[in-house]
Amino acid sequence: MNGHVGDGHTRPSHVPVALDRVLDLLAPAVEAAGEAAVVVDTTLGLGGHTAAMLQRFPDLRVVGIDRDPDALRLAAERLADVAGRVTLVHAVYDRIADALDEAGVERVDGVLFDLGVSSMQLDVGERGFAYAQDAPLDMRMDPTTGITAAEVLNTYAAGDLARVLRTYGEEKFARRIADAVVAERDEHPFDTSPRLVDLVRRSIPAAARRTGGNPAKRTFQALRIEVNDELGAYERALPAALSALRPGGRVVVLAYHSLEDRITKRTFARITTTQVPRDLPFVPAGHAAEFRSLTRGAELASPAEIDENPRAQSVRLRAVERIAA
């Protein structure tokens, strides 16, 4: 989630999450590569992390990927003064290999994932991501392609809709919500957020509504993940990023909910673990771990950062380094 803070209308601004920590983690790899240094920002957003990287590392080149054409346009404006050091690619981040081919790059020194919906998308009401705003139920990160949240609500069978809400929203009352959607949509299809928010509220027991904030939050998260295939794309993108690293290169991940962080944790645990018996006095050739962890578990935002940027509250940061040969 690129930490953008907007004016509530159409022109968001950008407060990157964990900025100093991200720069410090990337620094050894970028500085070691010198003039050849390349970092991929897989979730460019409005370019806040990229702008800071280019400022701190004067020899760095960045390949910036985003599926949202509006984000790419605004990032290009922001980065106009350093345009010669940035290659912008309109793509989902699981196409890292294609993006590097387009940029003429074979291997990179760093990859940054800042996962989830960008705050630019949350702040621009007409995109339909925010349950607190009256907006069309769109939720596509790339509004030029794919199925909308309204289409999911109006066409999925009750069982499929319940699965989406339960799996991606971790919603305990998924079946009740799904059944209520199906019961109402034939008479009046869902098209805007307030009606869905009202239905979720009516479908959840009163006792459950009194805790955990807006009860529609989980439903909106689940629909957004389904519409954009976020977890599937990330499960494909993370191995591609790891494969693109030079020895000494680093991947940094900012995740904002347990499903994303679980994928990161599982993948990083596998690649940083040596698959030999613990009592073996040596590691046979070809069996050593190719990566080492740079964080002890998941790092959280500091209270000071959360005060400055409330959207950092749920971040979980993990990072690994490809071990130099």
DSSP string, 201-239: HHHS-HHHHTSSS-TTHHHHHHHHHHHHTHHHHHHHHHH
Provide, rounded to the nearest whole percent, the portion of the chain with pLDDT above 70: 86
Angle, vertex CA 27, rays to CA 325 and CA 314, nearest 5: 110
Question: Per-residue pLDDT tens for 186-232?
Answer: 999 999 999 999 999 999 998 877 776 788 989 999 999 999 999 99
Structural domains in the chain plus CATH codes: 4-120+230-322 (3.40.50.150), 130-228 (1.10.150.170)
* pLDDT bracket for residue 320 (50, 70, 90): very high
The predicted-structure confidence for 60-97, as pLDDT tens digits, reads as follows 999 999 999 988 999 999 999 999 999 999 999 999 99
Binding positions for S-adenosyl-L-methionine: 47-49, 66, 93, 114, 121
Residue 22: strand, helix, or coil: helix
Q: Which residues are CB-contacts of 314 (< 8 A; sequence separation ≥ 6)? A: 256, 257
Two tokens at 173? 């009352």
pTM above 0.95, yes or no: no
Query: What is the rounded CA–CA span in Å between residue 71 and residue 66?
Result: 7
Residue list for the binding site = 47-49, 66, 93, 114, 121
- Per-residue pLDDT tens for 164-181? 999 999 999 999 999 999
The single-letter DSSP state of residue 284 is: P
d(CA 320, CA 309): 25
Average pLDDT over every residue of 4-24: 66
